[in-house]
Amino acid sequence: MYLHPEFETLSRSEIKDLQLKRLKDTVRHCMNSPFYRQRFADNNLTPEDICSLEDLQKIPFTTKQDLRDTYPFGMAAVPLEKCTRLHSSSGTTGNPTVILHTEKDLQEWAKAVARCLYMVGLRPNDVFQNTSGYGMFTGGLGFQYGAEHLGMLTVPAAAGNTKRQLKFITDFGTTAIHAIPSYAARLHEVMESMGIDPARDTKLKTLVIGAEPHSEAQRKRIEEMLGVKAYNSFGMSEMCGPGVAFECTEQNGLHIWEDYYIVEIINPDTLEPVPDGEVGELVLTTLNREAMPLLRYRTRDLTRILPGECPCGRKHVRLDRMKGRSDDMIILKGVNIFPIQIETVLLQFPELATDYLITLETVDSNDEMTIEVELNQLFTDDYARLQSLTRDITRVIKDEILVTPRVKLLPKGSLPQSEGKAVRVRDLRKPY
């Protein structure tokens, strides 16, 4: 039942004791990072000021902006030669973010992912197929190493090419898949078109779904469509990637591994802790990271700690499924996008005016982004020029955000004028 009983069966007080020990070690280790050394000095703090878990409140929050400002290696707490991997966010506008890992970090990450997969019943005789993008997307290598650590035959199918995914599923006897929820719907659509019945033609039983918000109703629908049990998986690159919080077989909230993280929920406006059980922004402190420990990192994800104990017996607290974000980040096809990235690209084109509208919608079972943007001058009769401009804009935006938008050029004055702050993003995506 437990892959790591020594951590999964800890009582609340044992968890707190372990957290305090690891917090003190982490804070001391952070003094090797130029960023945290300066932060502590600026706030007249020393590691000796952190004597209890409550003392964590003395430490200022760390933000994504801090990661951008220290790009690429300013947060590192070990010499670069000790690091063996980095992951980076998309984008060239402003600074992307970089996350560094030592060999030990990678081993711990693989163990955390394996613990999650074991918790939902996966074992070495399972065949695990991963439909995440590999490369910089942490869902790729993160699940790969975690599933291998568990000893499963692991199929690094990567994103896209759905017919080939289905061939793998049927030919290799795939029993478990990792997919984002919207892609699970796409898998089902293509299965139907190929006459594949998941119950008759596949051995699928488990789906790991994460990387984008989804409702309980969506989970149920996916479970019915594919004839699987679907477990919510939460993670983020800043915390390694997948393996941060995961549902157990009770499917009632995501256990966050408190031997790896200290959890706080704050009001994103006042930055004060919210009362127990209320929704707020998730703030995480890493407890065993070598290359790049993060103290009180503002994730911008909105959730709450579920009250009560889980019938599975684990005492690690459970997060409710994510309710959204406290910033304007969009998640499309499992890819994180900030509207400012798109705006910055549009501004590079002198032919364009400043008004634009991003629409996210579901076309068949694919989530798509349409960007309508107004032209500066009227040359709508010059069809060839418009076509080539559309192509250029599409290509540069794809390079920036990694997904392909549909770009529509409009005559000036066509977009609806809104009072006050212009509405830049409409999300019309339909639940499947």
The single residue among 166, 312, 335, 397 that binds Zn ion, judged by CB under 5 A, is 312
User: Is the Cβ–Cβ distance between 246 and 233 less than 8 Å?
Assistant: yes
| Nearest-approach distance from CB 186 to ligand COA, in angstroms | 5
Contact flags string 335-374 toward ligand COA, x per CB under 6 A: x------------------------------x--------
Q: How far apart are CA 427 and CA 407, in angstroms?
A: 16
CA–centroid distance for 159 within its chain: 15
The single residue among 247, 264, 301, 355 that binds ligand AMP, judged by CB under 6 A, is 301
Contact flags string 403-432 toward ligand COA, x per CB under 6 A: xx----------------------------
55 or 361: whose CB is closer to ligand COA? 361
The single residue among 248, 333, 355, 401 that binds ligand COA, judged by CB under 6 A, is 333
Contact range with ligand COA by CB under 6 A, out of 51-59, 120-128, 191-199, 331-339: 331-339
Q: How far apart are CA 372 and CA 413, in angstroms?
A: 12
The single residue among 175, 233, 285, 326 that binds ligand AMP, judged by CB under 6 A, is 233
Nearest partner of 301 among 318, 317, 319, 314, judged by Cα: 319
- Size of residue set near ligand COA by CB under 6 A: 21
Residue 366 site contact among Zn ion, ligand COA, ligand AMP, none (CB < 5 to 8 Å, cut-off depends on kind):
ligand COA
Residue 233 site contact among Zn ion, ligand AMP, ligand COA, none (CB < 5 to 8 Å, cut-off depends on kind):
ligand AMP
- Written as one letter, the residue type at 150 is L
Give the DSSP H/E element, type plus range, for residue 354. Answer: strand 352-363
The single residue among 114, 116, 211, 402 that binds ligand AMP, judged by CB under 6 A, is 211
Q: DSSP string of 320-350?
A: PPP-EESS--EEETTEEE-HHHHHHHHHT-T
User: Is the Cβ–Cβ distance between 362 and 51 less than 8 Å?
Assistant: no
The single residue among 3, 279, 310, 415 that binds Zn ion, judged by CB under 5 A, is 310
Q: Is 147 helix (H, G, I), strand (E, B) or coil?
A: helix
Residue 299 site contact among Zn ion, ligand COA, ligand AMP, none (CB < 5 to 8 Å, cut-off depends on kind):
ligand AMP
Nearest partner of 231 among 254, 255, 205, 208, judged by Cα: 208
User: Is the Cβ–Cβ distance between 375 and 346 less than 8 Å?
Assistant: no
The single residue among 19, 237, 285, 326 that binds ligand AMP, judged by CB under 6 A, is 237
> How many Cα atoms within 13 Å fall on the side-chain side of residue 93?
18
Give the DSSP H/E element, type plus range, for residue 64. Answer: helix 64-69
Site for ligand COA in 161-200 (CB under 6 A): 161-162, 180, 183, 186
248: which residues sit within 8 A by CB, 6+ positions away?
A: 119, 120, 255, 310, 312, 314
Residue 312 site contact among ligand AMP, ligand COA, Zn ion, none (CB < 5 to 8 Å, cut-off depends on kind):
Zn ion
Q: How many CB atoms lie within 10 A of CB 419?
A: 5
Contact flags string 245-284 toward Zn ion, x per CB under 5 A: ---x-x----------------------------------
Nearest partner of 65 among 109, 102, 96, judged by Cα: 96
Note whether 322 binds ligand AMP by CB under 6 A: yes
Residue 183 site contact among ligand COA, Zn ion, ligand AMP, none (CB < 5 to 8 Å, cut-off depends on kind):
ligand COA
Note whether 119 binds Zn ion by CB under 5 A: no
Contact range with ligand AMP by CB under 6 A, out of 230-238, 271-279, 360-368, 383-391: 230-238
The side-by-side arrangement of strands in the sheet containing 297-303 is: 261-266, 280-286, 297-303, 324-325
| Nearest-approach distance from CB 333 to ligand COA, in angstroms | 4
User: Is the Cβ–Cβ distance between 260 and 288 less than 8 Å?
Assistant: yes
> Which positions lie near ligand AMP, rule CB under 6 A?
138, 210-213, 232-237, 241, 299, 301, 322, 325, 331, 336
Residues of the shown chain interacting with ligand COA in the complex, contacts defined by CB under 6 A:
131-133, 137-139, 159-162, 180, 183, 186, 211, 333-335, 366, 402-404
